[in-house]
Chain A
Amino acid sequence: MRIQEQEITLLEHNYHFNIKTKTMKKKILLSLLFTFLLGFTACNDYLDVQPATGFTEAEVFSSESEIQSAVAGVYTLMLSDDAYSNRLAFVFNPNTDVEMVGVSTNTVNVNGSDIACFEPKPYWTTLNSTWNAMYKIINLSNDIIEGIEKSDIYKADKKDKASKVTQLYGEVKTLRAMVYLDMIRIWGDVVFRTKSSVGGEDFTVGVTDRNKILEFLIDDLKSVEPLMQYASELDYGTERASRSFNQGLIGLLALTRGGWALRPDTDAAGIGHMVRGENYEMYYDTAIQYLGKVINEKHHDLKLSYRDFWVKQNNWVTPVDDDVMFSLPLLKSVSGEYAYSIGIPITAGSHPYGSASGSLSLCGTYLYSFDVKDLRRDVTCAPYSYDANLNQVIRLNLAQLATGKWSKLYETAPLGSTSTKSTGVNYSWMRFADVLLMYAEAVNERVGLREDAKECLRRVRRRAFDKADWSAKVDAYVDSKTTQAQFFNAIVDERAWEFGGESKRKFDLARWNKYGEVIYNQYNKLLNWGKVANGAYVAGVDNVPGSVYWKNIPDPNNAGRTILDIKGINEILYAKPAGYTEQVFASAWYSLNSDTQAYEPRNDIKWSFRGFINFNNASSKTPNDPLRYLCPYPSKVITDHRGNIQNYYGFNY
């Protein structure tokens, strides 16, 4: 301020008296110089900036609650449509003998929303966006793992017992392992990254062998397992990755590592061949050890009935000590397609439930695979939809059978008459029933029929049947499996019945090396059902449901609404009972093609499995042929990795 006054006096002098002296000039120049200097000295601070809405590592990893908000970021990324809210929930898992998307043309889908018929294309947007979304999760996880390791809280932690910060640390590692597992199940070998990306790094690397990745993840999870907390100790229970989930995931990782997988032929144009992971016995033992921990530590059980369990799920209730091991925490009105895309279709009307598309379908034949007394059947399979007045409408076909585990009509607090998706119903990624059956499978594989394995199967089946049927359907059934192979097949069947619509079948069939066989049989089953229903004779196939019959009856629970009474499911009928309406089923699967004047299977039989078996190549296929269940690396990935990644399995041709 002093300089200023000096200047001002100078100016006034100048103006009034027009005095010019050399000393004054000097003073003026000096003051100018001073202004310049001012600029210089200020400039270092002046150029140090930080974004107002940006936080530094020190700020984020400063307390347990802030670290938890960082971990919440990982969960949030997992809930994007490109990851677990949509694609991994139901896009990547058909077609199997359980989930089924009907594909009625031989023309390859341009947009690539259906991966169902085993002909995915590298240019499909879905593949690229899912690839990117998964690596966003992985990179943020890697970053948080490093951030926690560097944080004072973690450094100060004694690490002798589970604490909040060690739980968060283990939690992120568990989530990362889960994401990698899903990537491996979709793509096989993938790019393996365990460090937070930094600028200047060379990212044009190749892929890492899936076995190496799985081995790393198993060891990684084992190392954090002792310091993690159980769901009952966590603020959001099974909506966070708990110690039990870590143990269960180690089991699944180990079974995947010890299971079968499609490996590339030397000729990139070849479909590939199935190979079992070397040293698989060791990994089955690891699975037995960690899945055994889950069972023995008794933090989870199957207490609720099968139906009550799903009703609770649809009402956003996830008990911490029951079936759910880990559930993706979708947010009501924001994310989630369970009960909308996956569930019973509902037409919007004046009712408060809104609409549901029920676009994920189970195969019509799956309905008939159940034991008539199996309580899971009518919870899982819904051969109907609801109209605008919430009356049931028949809806059953080859690739049209709703997954009844999810329905907006279960909601006690409905989401509103215009509601569509974003139901917030959680995606139960792993259940205790899964752990029991994986344990039984692993024990059977390693030591054969053992009581604890049988007991696991019994525990799952006890929930599936009424107590009155236990002796026949649980004890006698399990005891009837007297060989290792029979018991294994029982596990294969049981997992189909238990997990219908839950995105597990595809990956189970692959690691068992049963995918080709099952799809071969399924194609022929559909074909033969159509033929037999139309009067042909096919050896070994009789009693197929040509039609079912239905009539409306009043809904005993909801006055003014009607439900369906359907005949022809529990027992196959050959004639229409009086007062019922016919719904043609298998009879429509084989008919006269007016163009070729020949009897042919329906289009969705011809082409729904076309990347493996179809109308043109069926005669040359065998059940032992490898099935190309993997997806190609996206074209963008091939380009971005500059020749270090290439597609195999014939995906380039």
Chain B
Amino acid sequence: MTIKKHIVSILTLLLLTVSGYAQKLVTVTGVVRDKMGSIPSATIIVKNEKSSTSSDLDGKFSIKVTDPQTAVLVVKYVGMQDLTVPLKGRTSGIVVEMKESTSELNEVVVIGYGTQKRANLTGAVSSIKGTTLEKVPTSSVAEALVGRLPGVQITSADGSPGADIMIRVRGGGSITQDNSPLILVDGFEVATLNDVPPTDIESVEVLKDAASTAIYGARGANGVILVTTKKPKANMVSVNLNSYMQMKTLSNHLDVMDPYEYTMMQYEYERGRTSNPTAFFNRYGRANELYIYQGDKGTDWQDEIFGTNPIAKYLDLNISGGSEKTKFKFAVVNQDQPGALIGTGLKQTNINFMMTTKLSDKFTFEYQTRFTDQTIAGSGTEGVSLLNTIRQAPTLGLQDYMTLPEDDTYFDPEDYQPVKRFDPIQEAAKNYRNRISRTFNTVGALTWNIDKGLNFRSSFGFQYQYSEDGRFWGTDTGTAFANNNQPVVTWGMTQSPRWQMTNVLNYNFKLQKLHDFQLMLGQEIKDQSSANKTYTTRYFPETITAEKALDNLALGTPSGNASSEGSPNRISSFFGRVNYGYDDKYLITLTGRADGSTKFGPENRWGFFPSAAVAWRVSNEDFLKDNKTISNLKMRLSYGVSGNDRISGDLYAKYYGVSQNRSVGWGETSHYYYNFYNGNYLSNPDVKWESTYTTNLGFDFGFFKERLTGTIEIYKNTVKDLLVPSDIAGASGFNKIMTNVGQTSNKGIDFGINGSVVQNKDFQLDLNFNVGFNKNKIDALSSGENEWILSSGWAGTQLLNDDDYRAYVGGTKGLIYGFVNDGFYTVDDFEPLDPVTRVWVLKDGVANSKNLSGDPRPGNAKFKKLTPVDPTDSNTYVIGAKDRQVIGNTNPDFSGGFGLNAVWKNFDLSTFFNFVYGFDVYNANKIMMTSWYSNNQNNLGMEISLANRWRNFDDMGNDLRSSPELLADFNKNATIWNPTSIGRPVAESYAIEDGSFLRLNMLTLGFTIPKALTKKMIFNRVRLYATGSNLFVWTNYSGYDPEVNLETGLTPNIDYNAYPRTRNYTFGAQLSF
């Protein structure tokens, strides 16, 4: 920490010594314009002098120079080529005609610890500009990025506000639970992209190959996302306002049974159990009365919990300005995003202040501070379970038809016990959750330009995050019930400080005008820690509201508190990079980084990650230099290693922790006791770095003066010592262990292309397209096994054979494993029915599915026998655990997106589609909606409606089970088994569906009010727009949305109780003053 003190004292002294001095100056005036007209806000500086200014609304400027004879003006504007204008004695009427920068080749791309011209890149870097993101009104950056970067797959776990967002660069090098990329905002490592408002972004870069990511060593294996926020511009003060309103609606609807279908289904089940189901009759009526439900629409609970169509609001206000010497930016973003599910929502305010100041010719100081205040309401589908809700009965039965007698003389209210109606609003109030998170982040950096080409930059950043999680369980919830059925509150608080210090020395020089060197040497230390405290209070008065209970904990009885604070997570690093270019034709990059991480034991603590890359700018060779068609052609080849230490801390050593939770009751008092510090994970002293070896071959091309540009990347990465939390036998006393399980590899191609099809004054049209192909392979498992058995656990251990995923050595990960459906038993599968015993006996050689769908009888689900027949085994036809195979592959063949941007006069239109093709989704919701698992008068899906399913009772409730001919005839059109036969969840081929989809992700129409009009008001620019997001999905998938829990670790693509995506309509305005 002494270093930090030193920096502070330097700065203090420097600030004191800064002083201005005056001189006699001459004023020069002029105007900045391009072929379209005047350019406001262009920056004008005087070369080698201190003065600077910017053009006004009409493009006019005035600036002071010391000597008009020798002075040279430098004019800069975003998207234009920099222009140097020697004054040659002129002092007025200077017309500066700017030209658009012709290509993105000169565009500067942010890379690790520095920037690079795109033309000189040797690694695989995708980037997107803030101007593109601005057109997508979303609450988070990640959402705006979906489908736009080749080889980068972004999905949110589900549609809830503040949902975890999964970002996978090239399929995720690692396949651990946390294979998300490293995210840095202005060089500072952060945990999530959600803290940065999308409108505050200058650019986002994704580093994809090891040549680019190796500089981040330990943390780079899963790709690196560099977010650069908008920097203040020297300007007269400018004010920008961007505001929108957004309406959310549920984008899809599941078809569930209406009251008639429902009561008929329940009747069939109850009659199957007993000939006289009196409880059913009392509630719903007798079979011959059930017709009363026909035509009754009942309650569709989806409408009840999603029907509110909430309106989200977003407001971004930013002010920036300053002189060339000191610039500042101040931005406030406020958003209110109520969730489509009742009782959920997100509110967030970001305040961002940034300042850069030139302390002297040699020193520049940058300072930035961000504050985020976020509140997430609701516990998502954990509180109000989506499945519980859609499984609610659509009718209460006869009670819905009952009217109380007018004359209540004979009515004893105590005799009447109405059935309690499920109320999702109350349910949400009873499962209350409110999460508050406040993040303060501050970074200061001092750059010292020691000499030409030599500079030293030292930065120190600190972030403090404080979060609160308040939970309340009202009466009748499970938690309350365990505590005398009185409300319970758990209030937790987490403090997570993190800091990092980085020192980087850069030295750039040219030798003989041909040899271009860029050297970089750096050192960095990072420290992250987290301390958590949780307080549980119970026995609140039964009628208390959640807010009141959380605000007045003293109304309850304290029942437990706990604290936890793991080891700080520290990294100490040394790194360096050499870039060498010969004549702008041949480029070489070498990087190396050594990292020490506290995640590993002393033996395995340090890792070294080198990389090398070469590039050949073919278009700069003489034979192509003057080619009219090819404007740019570059080949790149890189190889390198990056690491992954993204596991929880303290997994390598055994510690004990202390607790009083549910303690021993010696003497009826609570005692503290010791247990293992980590009760779930067995410590593993051998755990070590996961390393990713990447080879990347890339081609960048541009045709027709860069009107058509694109990139192809071919890559292969191999992950060695893959770090995975593995299940271990419960006999160890633990459930999991973190181990280096083996080796996997990914091969693939990323392709992106952009075309400016039309470029007129009044009409511009750009098209873009990108696609990524990725193939995953398991190369080896360190246990020596060929098969990797995995359990998703979506149904706990209730699932019949809960190991429902596989990965094979030589094959891929993410294979769904289970039984294969074979329709249902028909009368023909059985011996003639014995009228006395009335027991159905299967014919010889017919598979017996009794373990899955009960003792076989006509109409019960039937499964395929996959194992060979063993004549010596009397049970050979009984379907067992071995009669399973791979029934689904969750790895997509390819994914990507395409879109267009068009501008016609004052209108702009942009649209974007994204797609993922060739992957399977495990529709667990469907299993729940079409089987009898934990069905207690629950509603079911229409897949098994009266028209579709096998029925054992006719419309009037006559039992057909003992009349084979009648039964067969009645069911001759049945297409699906009787759902009552499947009493528990089964991983079956029926639930595996192709998830391929094409989504109309976004469509925006904007209108910029002509300047002539806006200028009369005080505005500089006014743009109004309307956007629709997630407008349409083309898919054959039968659930809410096929894009669900994609790529989540080793058991992905399960659609179980996930919060469905919404369709959003947005109306907004962007104003600048």
Question: What does the 1/0 interface line of B771-808 toward A look like (CB < 8 Å)?
Answer: 00000000000000100010100001111111100000
Number of interface residues of A (CB under 8 A): 108
Contact A140 B525 (CB under 8 A): no
Question: What does the 1/0 interface line of A130-145 toward B look like (CB < 8 Å)?
Answer: 0110011011101100
**Cβ contacts under 8 Å, A138 to chain B:** 733
- Rounded to whole Å, the gap between the CB of A65 and the closest CB of chain B is 11
For A603, give the chain B residue with the smallest CB separation: B274
One of A70-78, A214-222, A287-295, A515-523 at the interface? A70-78
One of A54-62, A398-406, A480-488 at the interface? A54-62
Contact A331 B656 (CB under 8 A): no
CA distance A641 to B730 in the complex (A): 9
Interface: A39 (CB within 8 A): yes
One of A105-113, A376-384, A502-510, A540-548 at the interface? A105-113
Question: What does the 1/0 interface line of A405-439 toward B look like (CB < 8 Å)?
Answer: 00000000000101111101010000000000000
Max chain A CB contacts within 10 Å: which of B13, B521, B574, B880? Answer: B13
Contact B797 A636 (CB under 8 A): yes
Contact A418 B797 (CB under 8 A): no
Interface: B811 (CB within 8 A): no
Given contacts A15-B17, A69-B671, A331-B662, contact A595 B276 (CB under 8 A): yes
Max chain A CB contacts within 10 Å: which of B484, B567, B658, B851? Answer: B484
**Cβ contacts under 8 Å, A136 to chain B:** 679, 733-734
CA distance A201 to B729 in the complex (A): 11
Contact B572 A39 (CB under 8 A): yes
**Cβ contacts under 8 Å, A35 to chain B:** 3, 503, 523
Interface: A32 (CB within 8 A): yes
Contact B672 A640 (CB under 8 A): no
Given contacts A72-B664, A139-B732, A416-B484, contact A51 B655 (CB under 8 A): yes
Contact B802 A55 (CB under 8 A): no
Interface: A652 (CB within 8 A): yes
Interface: A11 (CB within 8 A): yes
Question: What does the 1/0 interface line of B249-289 toward A look like (CB < 8 Å)?
Answer: 00000000000000000000000011110000000000000
CA distance A35 to B3 in the complex (A): 8
CA distance A595 to B673 in the complex (A): 59
**Cβ contacts under 8 Å, A333 to chain B:** 559
Question: What does the 1/0 interface line of B656-692 toward A look like (CB < 8 Å)?
Answer: 1110001111111111111111010011111100000
Contact A420 B484 (CB under 8 A): yes
Contact A110 B983 (CB under 8 A): yes
Interface: A587 (CB within 8 A): no
- Rounded to whole Å, the gap between the CB of B508 and the closest CB of chain A is 16
Interface: A152 (CB within 8 A): no
Interface: A447 (CB within 8 A): no
Question: Which residues 228-268 in A have Cβ within 8 Å of B in the complex?
Answer: 235-236, 239-240
Interface: A80 (CB within 8 A): yes
Contact A203 B732 (CB under 8 A): yes
- Rounded to whole Å, the gap between the CB of A225 and the closest CB of chain B is 22
One of A42-50, A460-468, A561-569 at the interface? A42-50
For B800, give the chain A residue with the smallest CB separation: A123
**Cβ contacts under 8 Å, B686 to chain A:** 199-200
Interface: A79 (CB within 8 A): yes
Interface: B9 (CB within 8 A): yes
Interface: B910 (CB within 8 A): no
Contact A69 B673 (CB under 8 A): yes
Q: Tell which of B450, B570, B572, B785 touches A642, judged by Cβ atoms closer than 8 Å.
A: B785
Given contacts A25-B451, A418-B484, contact A641 B729 (CB under 8 A): yes
Interface: B720 (CB within 8 A): no
Interface: B901 (CB within 8 A): no
- Rounded to whole Å, the gap between the CB of B678 and the closest CB of chain A is 9
Interface: B878 (CB within 8 A): yes
Contact B662 A79 (CB under 8 A): yes
CA distance A239 to B664 in the complex (A): 9
CA distance A622 to B565 in the complex (A): 62
Interface: A193 (CB within 8 A): yes
Contact B729 A36 (CB under 8 A): no
Given contacts A51-B650, A69-B671, contact A329 B3 (CB under 8 A): no
Given contacts A7-B10, A47-B596, A236-B666, contact A73 B674 (CB under 8 A): yes
Contact B596 A43 (CB under 8 A): yes
Contact B674 A60 (CB under 8 A): yes
Interface: A28 (CB within 8 A): yes
- What's the interface size class on B, roughly? 35 or more
Question: What does the 1/0 interface line of B968-990 toward A look like (CB < 8 Å)?
Answer: 00000000000000011000000
Contact A140 B563 (CB under 8 A): no
Given contacts A15-B362, A197-B734, contact A140 B687 (CB under 8 A): no
- Rounded to whole Å, the gap between the CB of B57 and the closest CB of chain A is 37
Interface: A335 (CB within 8 A): yes
Given contacts A56-B656, A110-B984, contact A4 B663 (CB under 8 A): no
Given contacts A39-B572, A123-B800, contact A60 B656 (CB under 8 A): yes
Contact A240 B797 (CB under 8 A): no
- Rounded to whole Å, the gap between the CB of B480 and the closest CB of chain A is 10
For B669, give the chain A residue with the smallest CB separation: A331
Interface: B505 (CB within 8 A): yes
**Cβ contacts under 8 Å, A637 to chain B:** 729-731
Interface: B231 (CB within 8 A): no
Question: Which residues 4-47 in A have Cβ within 8 Å of B in the complex?
Answer: 4, 7-8, 11-12, 14-16, 18, 20, 25, 28, 32, 35-36, 38-40, 43, 46-47
Interface: A53 (CB within 8 A): yes
For A59, give the chain B residue with the smallest CB separation: B656
CA distance A1 to B685 in the complex (A): 40
Interface: A128 (CB within 8 A): yes
Question: Which residues 799-839 in B have Cβ within 8 Å of A in the complex?
Answer: 799-803
Contact A4 B674 (CB under 8 A): no
- Rounded to whole Å, the gap between the CB of A362 and the closest CB of chain B is 26
Contact A418 B485 (CB under 8 A): yes
Contact B6 A4 (CB under 8 A): yes
Contact A72 B797 (CB under 8 A): no
- Rounded to whole Å, the gap between the CB of A583 and the closest CB of chain B is 21
Contact B685 A199 (CB under 8 A): yes
Given contacts A15-B362, A335-B662, contact A123 B731 (CB under 8 A): no
- Rounded to whole Å, the gap between the CB of A588 and the closest CB of chain B is 16
Interface: A530 (CB within 8 A): no
CA distance A193 to B728 in the complex (A): 14
Question: What does the 1/0 interface line of B547-586 toward A look like (CB < 8 Å)?
Answer: 0000000000001000111111010101000000000000
Contact A8 B565 (CB under 8 A): no
- Rounded to whole Å, the gap between the CB of A44 and the closest CB of chain B is 9
**Which 6 pairs show the lowest CB-CB distances between chains A and B?**
A139-B733, A199-B684, A331-B665, A54-B655, A595-B275, A72-B673
25 residue pairs bridging A and B, Cβ less than 8 Å apart? A4-B10, A35-B3, A38-B3, A40-B574, A50-B655, A52-B566, A55-B655, A59-B656, A60-B656, A69-B672, A72-B663, A73-B675, A79-B662, A110-B983, A111-B934, A124-B797, A128-B730, A135-B732, A191-B729, A200-B686, A239-B665, A331-B663, A333-B559, A354-B484, A424-B668
A residues adjacent to B (C-beta < 8 A):
1, 4, 7-8, 11-12, 14-16, 18, 20, 25, 28, 32, 35-36, 38-40, 43, 46-57, 59-60, 66, 69-70, 72-73, 75-77, 79-80, 105, 107-108, 110-111, 123-125, 128, 131-132, 135-136, 138-140, 142-143, 191, 193, 197-201, 203-205, 235-236, 239-240, 269, 316, 329-336, 354, 416, 418-422, 424, 426, 593-595, 634-637, 639-642, 652-653
B residues adjacent to A (C-beta < 8 A):
3, 6, 9-10, 13-14, 17, 273-276, 360-363, 450-451, 456, 481-486, 503, 505, 521, 523, 525, 531, 542, 559, 563-568, 570, 572, 574, 596-598, 602, 605, 649-650, 654-658, 662-677, 679, 682-687, 727-735, 737, 739, 785, 789, 791, 796-803, 851, 854, 874-875, 878, 880-881, 933-934, 983-984
Q: A25-B451, A57-B656 are in contact. List 13 more A-B contacts (CB 8 A).
A: A15-B361, A20-B451, A32-B503, A49-B568, A51-B567, A66-B674, A69-B674, A75-B664, A75-B673, A110-B798, A138-B733, A331-B669, A642-B789
